[in-house]
Structure 1
Amino acid sequence: MIRIFSYSRESKRMETPSILELPRHLADRGRMIWADLEDPTDEETGVLGGMFGFHVLAVEDCMQEGLLPKFNLYDGYIFNIVHAAESKNTEAFSTIEVDIFVGENFLVTYHQSYVKGIFDSRGQVAKNPGSLLRSPDWLLYGILNAMGHNYEPGVQRLNDQVEMLENAFLSLPGEDQLGTLLRLRSEAYHLHRVADLQQDHLSRFGRGDLPWIMEENLLYFRDLYDNMARISHMADHLRERLAGMMETYHALVSRRVLGATKTLA
């Protein structure tokens, strides 16, 4: 599905044009356009290279799932791949890829499934268009900020599971805990990798040397950077704790093997 929001900065009114009406709205530099593509059809995806004229490599990145965070500055727009934390209340921590294009008077989001931060941003636009659609960089900040909020509960759930596993290891470490340990280690590694890359990309938005990122909004992007740096640090700490438990597990296995060898001897 594609949802298009077109906000007139002069009249302060918003329209929701169709795909066929999109070129006319894009040509009006007095308008701010947000096109959100969620699980789009092939025809809707064709808008990226057709009406917006995005580079074929960027479009291919959108269609290929599972890419890590990425930042590219093209002629006429910024292309950024970010990861949103899954909002489902499950034990496992996972992320959803979101592809974002930012230009002079537009922002395009592309994602294959529901993203809570984008859903919340659409709701805010529906209630008060000018609160987010006043400029592309302000909308970008609003979406990234909304998506960032979902990292907190996900990281907390991951931390709670690590604490439970630590307590189990202290009481009676065993082979039956290996599966949980490996899963948590993989999730903590993924969280750290994603947060570390996004932290680097957010620093680009806060430096003041990018087009379409206004000086008065730099502090907001720097705040996003600080928050993501904190998430990255938390993930790194979780990795260290899990590495310690893995060492404990290997030591336990070694003692058991040694004990069995002595018994056989």
Structure 2
Amino acid sequence: MPSIPRMLQPGNRGPGRDTGHTVTPPVPAARAVVDCGVYVDGVRRHGSHDFRRALTQVRESGEGFVWLGLHHPDEHQMNDVAEAFGLHPLMVEDAVHAHQRPKLELYDDTVFLVLRTISYVDHDSLEVANDIVETGEIMVLAGRDFVITVRHGDHTHLTGVRQRLEHMADHLKLGPSAVVHAVADRVVDSYLAVVSDMESDVDEIEERVFSTTSSDVDIDVVYLFKREVLELQRAVYPLGMPLARLSGNKNTLDVSPVRFESPTMSANGKEIRRHFRDVADHLTTATDLIAEYDERLTTLLNAAATKVSIQQSTDMRKISSWAAIAAVPTAIAGIYGMNFDNMPELHWTYSYPVLLLIMVCICFTLWRTLRRNHWL
């Protein structure tokens, strides 16, 4: 009996047979690379570099560092990068899966910093606005001779940061720590820009709520901004502790400051800590403004709810007043509509106009009294 080829044996499918699953070939890591450069003494070496060759060049020469920029890498792409740079698996997992809270972690001699980015959404009016801020995420992985920036989202552009640093050779000489500072500085400055743009919106809401000419309050707008401020707090507030450690603040509880004297970041740790302290000051300004907006919006929310309650009470008084006025002719018409034969003035010639006059007089008296008491 002739043997059956293995590809055609039961349980094995030959070429071209549908297995029911589409196998997608892995995308090369180079597809996620935005830019990769080698920097020596604060100056970028000419040419476009593959990150593996760039890292080999730096480690063989013993000078400079590699700056690799990635945008939304998948797990396969990040594993290739991790294999080349010797990254910890937990760092790779966090770098692939976004939606991390701002944090700073140390893996041996590698710093892992997570930053949340925010962007202000322009809108024509508050009534048509669905979102005020949009968020993204940046991870920075810095070692002795490399720094990797991983971006998630559409509002995390770092092109300007790289170009600006390349014109600041003295600052870039500080090594990977200079890149970490530049990225953090760019993100925190965007916080200040967003809270500055939101100020006019909060002022407009405040003017609407306390306006004496407008009786209708769109409380949904206040809820929208309250929600967006909470989103800002989740993005901005947790960054305080990482920046405190990077700036060498020893007063942070249960954590130790990052030692820039180690080869992880820079030999000139004192200088870079000064720069991080400046970023921390800017972050404090942003958090203070966000806290102010949160307090104002809470007050506006309570005021708007109170104004709506008062408006509803006023409307109920008006409805009750008109109901009381309408009750008079309704009662008289109901009594004389019972069709009894023996009723006062039933057969009198002037009964109908006299009753109409009485109803009008009573209704007018009630209307004047209620209006004088501000019920109408």
Deviations, residues 47-103 of structure 1 (Å, cap 9, x unaligned): 342212222222222222222211111112111111223266557123321011111
- Which residue of structure 2 aligns with residue 210 of structure 1? 258
Whole-angstrom CA distance in 2 between matches of 1:199 and 1:139: 19
Whole-angstrom CA distance in 2 between matches of 1:10 and 1:206: 22
The one-letter amino acid paired with 2:233 is: H
- Which residue of structure 1 aligns with residue 300 of structure 2? 245
Name which of structure 1's ranges 77-86 and 255-264 shifts more when overlaid on structure 2.
255-264
- Which residue of structure 2 aligns with residue 18 of structure 1? 50
Does 2:137 match 1:97? yes
- Which residue of structure 2 aligns with residue 78 of structure 1? 111
Is the 8 Å Cα contact of residues 65 and 146 (structure 2) preserved in structure 1? yes
Identity %: 18
Q: CA deviation at 1:205?
A: 0.3
Whole-angstrom CA distance in 1 between matches of 2:135 and 2:77: 24
Partner SS state of residue 51, structure 2: coil
- Which residue of structure 1 aligns with residue 159 of structure 2? 119
Structure 2: runs of 5+ lacking an equivalent: 1-31, 124-128, 250-256, 260-264, 324-376
Q: 1:167 aligns with which of 176, 190, 207?
A: 207
Name which of structure 1's ranges 229-238 and 163-172 shifts more when overlaid on structure 2.
163-172
Name which of structure 1's ranges 40-49 and 163-172 shifts more when overlaid on structure 2.
40-49
Does 2:275 match 1:220? yes
Partner SS state of residue 85, structure 1: strand
Name which of structure 1's ranges 92-101 and 141-150 shifts more when overlaid on structure 2.
141-150
Q: CA deviation at 1:206?
A: 0.6
Deviations, residues 137-174 of structure 1 (Å, cap 9, x unaligned): 11211222223322232111211100011111111263
Whole-angstrom CA distance in 2 between matches of 1:123 and 1:10: 12
Distance 1:117 1:80, change over 3 A: same
Partner SS state of residue 50, structure 1: helix
Name which of structure 1's ranges 85-94 and 21-30 shifts more when overlaid on structure 2.
85-94
The one-letter amino acid paired with 2:48 is: T
The one-letter amino acid paired with 2:140 is: I
Deviations, residues 18-53 of structure 1 (Å, cap 9, x unaligned): 134144135344121111102335553233422122
Q: 1:186 aligns with which of 224, 227, 251?
A: 227
TM-score normalized with structure 1 length: 0.86
Deviations, residues 106-141 of structure 1 (Å, cap 9, x unaligned): 111101245566111222355566653541111211
Partner SS state of residue 142, structure 2: strand
Distance 1:62 1:238, change over 3 A: same
Partner SS state of residue 21, structure 1: helix
Is the 8 Å Cα contact of residues 133 and 139 (structure 1) preserved in structure 2? no
Whole-angstrom CA distance in 1 between matches of 2:246 and 2:215: 46
Does 2:239 match 1:198? yes
Q: How do 1:248-263 and structure 2 match up within 5 A?
A: 248-259=303-314, 263=319
The one-letter amino acid paired with 1:95 is: T
Partner SS state of residue 86, structure 1: strand
Q: How do 1:31-110 and structure 2 match up within 5 A?
A: 31-40=64-73, 43-86=76-119, 89=122, 92-110=132-150
More strand by share: 1
Q: Greater RCO between the two (CA within 8 Å, min separation 6)?
A: 1
Distance 1:166 1:173, change over 3 A: farther
- Output the aligned Cα RMSD: 2.8
- Which residue of structure 1 aligns with residue 176 of structure 2? 136
- Which residue of structure 1 aligns with residue 290 of structure 2? 235
TM-score normalized with structure 2 length: 0.63
Structure 1: runs of 5+ lacking an equivalent: none
Name which of structure 1's ranges 9-18 and 184-193 shifts more when overlaid on structure 2.
9-18
More helix by share: 1
The one-letter amino acid paired with 1:253 is: V
Does 2:47 match 1:5? no
Q: CA deviation at 1:188?
A: 1.4
Partner SS state of residue 85, structure 2: coil
